[in-house]
Structure 1
Amino acid sequence: YNDYRDLLARDDIDAVVIVTPDHWHALQSIDAARAGKDVYCEKPISLTVGQGRRLVEAIQRHGRVFQTGTQYRSITTIRKVCDFVRSGGLGQVKSVFTLWTGLGGFIGGSRFANCLSAIAPEKTAASYVPMDFALPGEPVPDGLDWDLWVGPAPWQPYNSVYHINPTPGVVPWSFNEDFGVASSTWFHSHSADVIQYALGFEESGPVELIHPADGPYPTLTCKYANGTLLHLVDHWGQVHGLYKAVPAEARLAGNFGGVFVGERGWVTSMSTGGPIEGGPAELFEAMKLTTREVNIGDNDHHANFFDCIRTRRKPSSHEEIGHRSASLGHLTIIAYKMGKSLRWDPQTETFADNPQANRLLDRAMRSPWRV
């Protein structure tokens, strides 16, 4: 189908999987819900906090099943770590550390430079937010409806850097803030999902974002209502002095996942699965003996979605959870853009006493598109 709306018009389709560029996720999910379809949507489910909230409302209003593509939470080892942390195995969790790389670190310096060679060299420096850039126009290839591809985003001419991907695993359009959210909410939606689930804030969020310019930490830190600090670490080597309580072997563990540090010790698992690591030894042994499976359905994230289509139960990473994990990335982008610490109310989804930051919570869509 050239136009997804033609597919949604079919009455013999029960569910859709949305794996389009980021700027389409919320709009297509909402349109699918209106058309009576259940939805599996890749992360992030939105470009803004406002889009995400409207998606949640539409899914619930139309009674649809929605699963976010944050499948790391369905990996057995990660579920065990999350359950151990949630059940108080570490005692009070003081800090969580996760890799939250800039643009260069996210896909590797040379791969990034090669893929975005049309951008000025200074644009390839590490950044925590998607970039505002324009590329020169090129002829649109036959068979590509570029106007429809741009869709609700601000208009800009076609350039092959966006559309043609010679490097596996790299999506250049995601580094343009009109089309994507770069690393801040792309891979890191996985980290946010796993960490907030383990902390018990998967349907909420932080209450403060502490900018490095204002606080004692070298990278952005999120503070939760219970006092837990989530440190978004750019590179382990830059912050060795920040978490002396974490053994050296933990500093390279938890890649894109989280290293949880509590009163009784620490624990982590690679976000893509792998051995559970932790210490001290007696705590780690106790965890392995007492850990139980988290009751979120089958280990297969996709099977969980299909099961819920049949049963009409909430999937393991339903719309509110997907919204909150994406929102954490959106909030970090805003904090970096503002260059200052921000106080956040996860209930009203507004910043306290900062109208300028609140204006960044949503954005207009290009006519005639809207949600």
Structure 2
Amino acid sequence: MVLKIESPSSACSRRGFLKTAGVVSAVTLTPWSTPARQALAKSPNERKRFALIGVGGNGTRTSPVGKQFADLVALCDVDQRHLDRGNGLLCEGKADLTSDYRDIISRDDIDFVQISTPDHWHAKILIEAMLAGKDAYCEKPLTLTIDEGKLVRKIQQQTGRVVQVGTQQRSSFDKFNRALAIISEGRIGKLKRLVVGIDAGGWSPEIALADVPKELDWDRWLGPTPEMAYRYQKDARRDDKNYTNGHTHFRWWYEHSGGKLTDWGAHHVDIAMLGIAAAGQNNDPVSVDGTAEHDVEFRDGMPLQDNRYNTARAFDLNVAFADGDVVMNIRHDVDNGILFEGEHGRIFVNRGRLVGKPVEDLENDPLPEDAVAKIYRGMPMEGNDRPAHWANFMHAIENRSQPISDVHSHMKMLNVCHLAGICCRLGRKIQWDQASESVIGDELAASMMKRDYRAGYEIQL
């Protein structure tokens, strides 16, 4: 069923955003630079219009930042509860509503879309949106498979659409970009080892079958992924906790995601690989090896149990690169963040800390004034973290240029995460050829670079 309010004049206003600004007060207080203030000062007729596709928790957290730069005019979700909540929270009840993203991308009065659906829908909606002439801000991970990434990149090049991936750590100037600048300036020397901590994956008991909520279109929620029965149950010990193969917990099912490896991995592996490049070293991956633990048994890469979370809970994986002097260790059992170890020192960075002797040494030997700006490709550095990431996206739209989290560099990183997942599922070393972007010497592993789409949910090219 499609639910709509047809009048485009019902756009969420800037005034409406300010009334609900309490949920994003930290970012609304960000001191913006002149270009960003000019964008905010545009008249309603000049401001761009966008739609939010996927109005769950992440969509409602991130779209208020986008509303600082453009008008949110429409919401799309397959769960009526999400639509109703999002409409009230984000748009004073005035948004156009639909359960079908095609209603969104076919509209001429929408300039770009924000895609905040579960992972398994990202590539299909993004590709069809680009083909429909829409720019896009798409949450990570961009794809469910390696081959989807190849198609996304092809369509982006073909259409010239601007796509910003929601890896907002690339727009952190006080921590992540500063860490990369320290590396780029040679303060820790040639990199030897990186340790990427992304925490353990989710655990569940056996989850009972349940009735699909009447507000949820479960078939459309599954979309391109295999048909499966809906499961949901409360935690017997905690009323505020549940287990499901649907909302929020989709990331613990390989059918819909890649677990921690594509969840936090898409953030921290990203910064780690940028660090290798910043050191002037070759970050082309050549292999992934290591160990992993699951709560279900696997055979030929497929889980044999369908009622428990099945992505890797624990892992100790080593990624080798074309520069044979550096190795990346991806683990679940160390501090969340990235440890860079070089010939002359080491630094650790995450969203709360940037520490290490090379950081302390900056007090007496500061970085060059333009060191962080060089890491940010010389683009305007407006705000910090997610607000800056949206500002960069708008800058790229205005200038028809590549944003800081472009699909091409994102997919090189994400392929490492996908290869790590294949390694975990098969329990053996995976060899990779970057030139051809293919798994080598392992027919079964190579076949896992793609997945079949459920009939009726194929990508429409």
TM range (shorter): 0.7 to 0.9
Check if 1:154 corresponds to 2:226.
yes
Aligned residues: CA RMSD: 2.6
Query: Of the two, which has the highest radius of gyration?
Result: 2
Match 2:253 to one of 172, 176, 189: 176
**TM-score, with normalisation over the residues of structure 2?**
0.64
2:24 equivalent in structure 1: none
**TM-score, with normalisation over the residues of structure 1?**
0.79
Q: Which runs of 5+ in 1 are unaligned?
A: 105-111, 120-134, 237-251
Q: Which runs of 5+ in 2 are unaligned?
A: 1-97, 293-314
Query: Displacement, 1:283?
Result: 5.2
Check if 1:79 corresponds to 2:166.
no
CA contact (8 A) 1:86 1:199 kept: no
Could you list the per-position Cα deviations for residues 21-54 of structure 1 after superposition, in whole angstroms to 9, with x for gaps in the alignment?
0100011100100110001110100111111111
Structure 1 segments, 4+ long, off by >4 Å, are 165-168, 201-204, 280-287
1:93-172 maps to which residues of 2 (within 5 A)?
93-104=191-202, 112=203, 116-119=204-207, 136=209, 138-160=210-232, 166-167=240-241, 171-172=248-249
1:264 equivalent in structure 2: 344
Could you list the per-position Cα deviations for residues 231-265 of structure 1 after superposition, in whole angstroms to 9, with x for gaps in the alignment?
112213xxxxxxxxxxxxxxx4xx2x311001110
Match 2:289 to one of 189, 210, 222: 210
Mapped to 2, the partners of 1:286 and 1:91 lie a distance apart of: 18
Q: What secondary structure does 1:6 align onto?
A: helix
Q: What secondary structure does 1:267 align onto?
A: strand
1:203-352 maps to which residues of 2 (within 5 A)?
205-212=284-291, 219-227=316-324, 228-236=326-334, 252=335, 255=336, 257-270=337-350, 272=351, 274-279=352-357, 285=363, 288-290=366-368, 292-293=371-372, 294-296=375-377, 297=379, 298=381, 299=384, 300-352=388-440
Mapped to 2, the partners of 1:16 and 1:174 lie a distance apart of: 22
Q: Which has the higher relative contact order, 1 or 2, with Cα contacts under 8 A spaced 6 or more apart?
A: 1
Q: Which AA in structure 1 matches 2:349?
A: S
Mapped to 2, the partners of 1:331 and 1:275 lie a distance apart of: 29
2:22 equivalent in structure 1: none
1:195 equivalent in structure 2: 272
Q: What secondary structure does 1:25 align onto?
A: helix
Q: Structure 1 residues 94, 306: closer, same or farther in 2, change over 3 A?
A: same
CA contact (8 A) 2:153 2:408 kept: yes
Which structure features the higher share of strand residues?
Answer: 2
Mapped to 2, the partners of 1:287 and 1:337 lie a distance apart of: 47
Query: Displacement, 1:139?
Result: 2.5
Mapped to 1, the partners of 2:257 and 2:123 lie a distance apart of: 12
Mapped to 2, the partners of 1:62 and 1:287 lie a distance apart of: 46
Q: Structure 1 residues 286, 223: closer, same or farther in 2, change over 3 A?
A: farther
Q: What secondary structure does 1:219 align onto?
A: strand
Mapped to 1, the partners of 2:362 and 2:356 lie a distance apart of: 5
Q: Structure 1 residues 50, 302: closer, same or farther in 2, change over 3 A?
A: same
Q: Which AA in structure 1 matches 2:354?
A: I
Q: Structure 1 residues 58, 286: closer, same or farther in 2, change over 3 A?
A: farther
Could you list the per-position Cα deviations for residues 307-358 of structure 1 after superposition, in whole angstroms to 9, with x for gaps in the alignment?
1111111000001122123222111011112212222112211122111110
Query: Displacement, 1:284?
Result: 5.2
User: What percentage of residue pairs aligned between the two structures are identical?
Assistant: 31
1:247 equivalent in structure 2: none
Could you list the per-position Cα deviations for residues 190-237 of structure 1 after superposition, in whole angstroms to 9, with x for gaps in the alignment?
001111111118996411213259xxxx9211011112110112213x
Q: Which AA in structure 2 matches 1:295?
A: Y
